[in-house]
Amino acid sequence: MTQYEYSFTRYLAAKKSVDNRAINRHVRQVLLESLPQTSANQPLRVLEMGAGIGTMIERMLEWDLFSCADYTAIDTQTENIQHAQRRLLTWATQNGYQAAERIDGLTIGGEGVEVHTKLIEVDLFDFITDQQYFGTYDLLVAHAFLDLVDIPETLPQIFNLGRKESLFYFTINYDELTILEPIIDQDFDHHVLKLYHRTMNDRIRDGKRFGDSRTGRHLFEHIQISGGQILAAGSSDWFVFPGSGGYPQDEAFFLHFIIHTIYQALNKHPELDASQFEEWIRQRHAQIERQELIYIAHQLDYVGMTQRN
């Protein structure tokens, strides 16, 4: 596959079925039980940060999590936001909803359902700085996102976006365990993954470190220090394997993308033999083509409440 063909929006679309299997059912059930009743006059105000192409909006409607909501989805990438608008329109129509496009999002309606989505291309940090959103939301959502920010610094600011009492739902938080089977070379496999995790911990933005390969477990403490109360937590591991018909849906592409991400992170790494690494990457892609590769990534989900004074 050429560089160009590793489309991020296709990766996020392919990830949906993997995430659907992984999301922790108990944590989701506690979220469902904790949500207030909604109506057209009293919609649930949701903020999703790093929303990508909007698959969580689809998922929440598929789960019947709420019937009436004002759902703000933010992401830094123009392409994601534009893709989300188009994709949601198609998804809504295919799923028996009426969808009306607005300039900044779309309204999805159906029997007892009225969800106004607002898709905004903005950096979370600018969104936070813009004080108008302070104290606005009933539910704060971050899905496969928090490992991209400096959590101790950012989490209290995220909680400030919630109303006096609000819920948070933080899912697919990576927790430093990747399993790729079959093994190619025990020591080299281990070395590659160790360096890969190190790249997650060494990310620098504005001269400051951010990112954490152990976001999953560390969130437990960070949530509490930031004033959140955890109502439920549990694992949400990705597990991708070929069935009798091969990998489901577009999950072969998902796997190729994961291997390519490891390649990009470690290409020309001084602690890796370049030709051995190139060969390792080639073999991993070949394992996917032969429908041999099994991929497991350990992740954790959390649901909880925040209270502001």
Antiparallel, parallel or unpaired: β 228-235 and 294-307: antiparallel
Residue 108 interacts with ligand SAM (CB under 6 A): yes or no: no
Beta strands in 148-260 (DSSP E): 162-181, 204-205, 208-209, 228-235, 238-240
Q: Which of 124, 155, 255, 266 binds ligand SAM (CB under 6 A)?
A: 124
Q: Which of 18, 49, 99, 139 binds ligand SAM (CB under 6 A)?
A: 49
Residue 175 interacts with ligand SAM (CB under 6 A): yes or no: no
Residue 24 interacts with ligand SAM (CB under 6 A): yes or no: no
Map residue 95 onto helix, strand or coil. coil
Residue 144 interacts with ligand SAM (CB under 6 A): yes or no: yes
Q: Of the two residues 219 and 287, which places its CB atom closer to ligand SAM in the complex?
A: 219
Q: Concatenated DSSP letters for 106-164?
A: EEEEETTEEEEEEEEE--HHHHHHSGGGTT-EEEEEEES-GGGS-HHHHHHHHHHTEEE
Residue 216 interacts with ligand SAM (CB under 6 A): yes or no: no
Residue 9 interacts with ligand SAM (CB under 6 A): yes or no: no
Q: Of the two residues 125 and 241, which places its CB atom closer to ligand SAM in the complex?
A: 125
Q: Which of 7, 17, 34, 77 binds ligand SAM (CB under 6 A)?
A: 77
Non-local (6+) Cβ contacts of 259 within 8 A are 281, 284, 285, 288
Residue 212 interacts with ligand SAM (CB under 6 A): yes or no: no
Residue 303 burial (CB < 10 Å; 0-12/13-18/19+)?
Answer: buried
Residue 12 interacts with ligand SAM (CB under 6 A): yes or no: yes
Q: Of the two residues 162 and 287, which places its CB atom closer to ligand SAM in the complex?
A: 162
CB of 46 closer than 8 Å to CB of 137: yes
Binding stretches for ligand SAM (CB under 6 A): 12, 15, 49-52, 55, 74-77, 80, 123-125, 143-145, 148
